[in-house]
Structure 1
Amino acid sequence: MILTDAFWPVFALSSWFSGQQQHQHDESLANGGHHHHHHGHHGHHGHVQPFPGHTLYKLNDGNYIPSPAWGTGTATAREGNATLLVAQALEAGWRHIDCSLIYRNQNGTGEALTASGVPRGELYITSKYDSLTNQSVHEELGLTLAQLQLDYLDLYLIHFPRAAVNGGGLKKVWREMEEVKKMGLVRSIGVSNYDSVELLEEVLEVAEVFPAINQINYSVYNAVDKAPVVALGTQHGILTSAYGELRPITSSPNGPADIIGKQITDRLSKDYGKEVTYAQMIFSWLKSTGVVAVTTTSNKERLKEQVVPFGKDFPLVTAAEARAFEASGWGYKD
């Protein structure tokens, strides 16, 4: 099959090798290598990894992003429980919290961040421009920062292509994104749901500063379809960030990818010396192929379980396993 031969090596292998380098990078951080924080906001000491238990990826702007992120965009978090749930995630060791104005719970999230007592430099906070009220990026970001009780974000994304249209067009909105980065109100900028080559190319055409991240719906059941946009990103140093990666467990159980998924899970269990869950295998697949994970759970046990694969001693999925897993989900519509 031409597609497989021509395509996969570019996608799965190059991303897998970046995953391997990443792993070594983690090791060097953990062993006292120098890390990235040069600015005064961050009070880290020489050799301590800034986000223990997380996998760090270097972005094309020189900053680092920790994976996984705990997403606040679920119904449970929206119903006034955000403060409790974010507090619970922080308590379980999660340090990257993924927010948005449209989730209508940033006030509650901000309360949890403040109450947690975790120093700002040890948190990584993402939010998104929704253009809900046709405000400029700067205005809407001001509202987000006020709600979250922060003076800067680590990452700010255009939430979906429609937000750029509503905000006065992609060219104008991306300029404003570049501007708030220059002002130091956000460390990194990116996009979300620009999940086709055409959409991402539109951004590249207007950008002076390329996006650092493209956050998309990404799972074993659309990985082959999304391979071209992931590859385009990789070409420009744009990291893919995945939400919806647990689809084989949450919305498509007993789908065709489960057979090989379970085989890889068994192999990981053997290498790890203790039982690995299917969800952990999925996170290891993302980690091994260089994709940042955004996920969410309100279950305390699962909060602990889901962060395990991002530690440096957790076994990686091999390139061959990743390709087989991704191919097994191709074309499945449930």
Structure 2
Amino acid sequence: MTTTKRIGLATCRALPDLDADDRPLLEELTDRGFRAEPLVWDDPDIDWSAFDLVVVRSTWDYSPRRDEFVAWARRVPRLLNPAEVLAWNTDKGYLRVLEEAGIPVIPTIWLDPARHLSKRAVHTRMPAFGDFVVKPVVGAGAKDAGRYQPVSAQSRALAISHAVGLLDAGRAVMIQPYVTSVDTAGETGLVFIDGELSHAVRKDALLTGPSSESDEPYLREQMMPAQATEEQVAVARRALAVAAKELDLDRPLLYARVDLVTGDDGTPMVIELELTEPSLWLQHDGDGASLGAFADAIAARVA
């Protein structure tokens, strides 16, 4: 007598039935002979050991509770991507590792709450020219991020208040120049499944002004299919190789998304390396093959 193997797709309370992009995975995995179901990651009643595999998907409310999320990941016996990857990737300090390895990234000023910086000290660290972005080091998407103009006293004051508020809450802060190409070309996300490039998507600019309060755990993004350039693919592959070396991985990650922007000199730069819970935008792959490829990759990890 055979027992149907169980696959859990981890999500958040705001999306107990998964995000619309991931929902078709349930049927695909069922068609492959598995029992697949969505699971809210912080549900205390779930026995995670009862699943043959748990795949992290739309756990988009983790950032205010990162330590709790990482602790949960370490308790799940068979989790993909693995807990050590999630622990490394949920703190954007990984961008320093990429930069040290020669990967082009956006120049960043890092503010540590442990230093108890005054408003004046925060003020002196902000750019004097060009729009800039203030955001938390631990955060999802563009939530709690804002765009500011140094030439406006009001905007600069809002930026200082934003940064100080994050620091006072014990959250480390990043300050980066705003990459102006985002307003015209957007961001390009390269989706990898089991180490292979699947497809690319374009995301239009989300940051148009200061950070605003929101009870939503994530911000909705408008996406469209894109064609990645050879230069973008090369940078993305190099970034993933650095991550694999840093994490001592012995096989490709089940999923990854590398988000790139274009610098003033035309160089693709990594804005984020999404290895935790990225939208894979499977419906924007152009030929519909990515959904099946993702289901096949998951099935191969269970076998």
Which structure's residues are more often strand, by fraction?
2
Shorter chain as denominator, the TM-score bin is: under 0.3
Q: What TM-score, normalized to structure 2?
A: 0.27
Which structure's residues are more often helix, by fraction?
1
Q: What TM-score, normalized to structure 1?
A: 0.25
